[in-house]
Structure 1
């Protein structure tokens, strides 16, 4: 029995097709696995950010209505954030909720006596509230388990 050159070429062509198909499938599998791993990591980070924002919003919304120094359910996050904000501002700050608008208003307080030295305006209070929000996010992120 003799093997013709046509048969040898046909076998080699078939073998080459099988190899290239296998390589394409392997690349597709590895690409799919990488994409899945990336999606899972992004989803975990997005979920973490979402949780931090939800907790921050709740804390900042409730911070004006609680008594100063009271460490309720957040383990002193409010006090830590307010202390950091006061340090950045350069003077001790206290927060109160405006009765009419419901917005947070800031007061500058004497550190020794605890007396209110002056009340800050609405515009300055709004800027401080935004900064308090960002600081609270940072404190929560630092304290949150990875």
Structure 2
């Protein structure tokens, strides 16, 4: 069996490609290893604060996305936060979330009849939403182990 010059050249070309590919990979590995890696170490307190803020955001969103006038389906934290906000405001409050903007709007509810007395303006709703977030954050912080 005879080996042609074409076959030898083909083998040499393949071997040269493998060598150059290996050299490129080695250079890339060396460049990657020598480059400083960005690593952020945060303290346990900062991590706890991040978790509390995330949980609080989810709870406030859940309060706003519930069925208006139906507070029985909410969890203990949601009930407690809304109850405390209502006590601070001095009137029974109910919340609904605008589906298009995701913003919370507050309503004053008659405790005896369960009917909406008035819709609060956007500025006041924004202030109440900030206060609701703060109240919920404190409740979550107290409940975390």
Common fold by TM > 0.5: yes
- CA shift, 1:65, in A, is 1.1
Uncovered stretches (5+) of structure 2, i.e. residues with no partner: 1-40
- Please list the CA deviations of residues 29-57 of structure 1 after superposition, one character each: whole Å capped at 9, or x if unmatched: xxxxxxxxxxx9x7111111111001001
- CA shift, 1:69, in A, is 1.9
1:70 aligns with 2:67: no
After TM superposition, the score normalised by the length of structure 1 is 0.65
- Please list the CA deviations of residues 76-119 of structure 1 after superposition, one character each: whole Å capped at 9, or x if unmatched: 11110000000000000000112443210000001111100000
Aligned residue for 1:142? 142
Aligned residue for 1:24? none
Residues 1-146 of structure 1: matches in 2 within 5 Å?
A: 43-67=43-67, 68-72=70-74, 75-145=75-145
Give aligned pairs, total: 103
Equivalent position SS for 2:102: coil
- CA shift, 1:62, in A, is 2.1
After TM superposition, the score normalised by the length of structure 2 is 0.66
Instruction: Give the aligned CA root-mean-square deviation in angstroms.
Output: 1.7
